């Protein structure tokens, strides 16, 4: 199964909020929208990551698929790139670690050249903003609504790289 359907939930939220946020005068409410979008975005990233690994494992072997599904029920937001590499990809073998790193580096270079943004930083920032909002109730002092939406779109490239890494 492709990974992109997982994005629909957050895409719908962003699409709706794009019509609401510009008309919102209260800066505190706008800051809360930043946190809300970050939570929705990281949630769909997590679902996509789980789906990618489970699908890959099922194609390898039925028992591996069952094991992977149970294992990934417990990742609970641990989806930083370091987690993907060290906690998940390494379990499938170093070739997947190397492949993922190469794909991310190539995508980051291409994306930077065409969009002037770093997908690695965007992905990391989005997770940071989500964790600050969801776990500590902190609103970002620096990120705007536009920043969080852009980081979500940029970060999708990391998920694409993972998907391409895990294609059999």
pLDDT at 1: 59
pLDDT of residue 137: 77
pLDDT of 21: 95
The pLDDT of residue 106 is 98
- Predicted confidence at residue 138, as pLDDT, reads 82
Structure-token pair, residue 58: 């099922």
**In 3-state terms, what secondary structure has residue 103?**
helix
Contacts for 37 with CB less than 8 Å, ≥ 6 apart: 10, 13, 14, 17, 145, 148, 149, 152
8 A C-beta contact, residue 154 and residue 119: yes
Using CA atoms, how far apart are residues 148 and 140, in angstroms rounded to an integer? 10
* pLDDT (tens place) for every residue of the chain, 168 residues total: 588 999 999 999 999 999 999 999 999 999 999 999 999 999 999 999 999 999 999 999 999 888 888 888 877 779 999 999 999 999 999 999 999 999 999 999 999 999 999 999 999 999 999 998 888 778 777 899 999 999 999 999 999 999 999 986
Q: Which of 153, 151, 133 is nearest to 141 (CA)?
A: 133
Q: State the pTM of this model.
A: 0.93
Taking alpha carbons only, the member of 124, 113, 121, 105 closest to residue 45 is 124
The SS3 call for residue 24 is coil
How many Å apart are CA 83 and CA 106, to the nearest integer? 20
Q: Is 166 exposed, middle or buried (0-12, 13-18, 19+ CB in 10 A)?
A: buried
Is residue 99 within 8 Å of 85, Cβ to Cβ?
no
């Amino acid at each position: 199964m492709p990974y992109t359907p997982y994005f629909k939930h957050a895409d719908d939220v962003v699409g709706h909020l794009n019509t609401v946020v510009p008309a919102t005068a209260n800066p505190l409410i706008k800051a809360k929208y930043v946190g809300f979008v970050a939570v929705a975005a990281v949630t769909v990233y997590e679902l996509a990551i789980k789906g990618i690994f489970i699908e890959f494992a099922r194609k390898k072997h039925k028992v591996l698929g069952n094991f992977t599904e149970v294992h990934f029920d417990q990742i609970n937001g641990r989806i930083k790139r370091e987690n993907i590499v060290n906690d998940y990809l390494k379990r499938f073998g170093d070739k997947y670690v190397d492949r993922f790193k190469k794909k991310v580096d190539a995508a980051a270079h291409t994306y930077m050249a065409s969009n002037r943004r770093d997908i690695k930083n965007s992905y990391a920032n989005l997770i940071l903003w989500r964790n600050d909002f969801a776990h500590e109730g902190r609103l970002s002092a620096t990120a705007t609504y536009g920043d969080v939406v852009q980081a979500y779109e940029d970060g999708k490239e990391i998920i694409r790289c993972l998907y391409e890494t895990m294609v059999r």
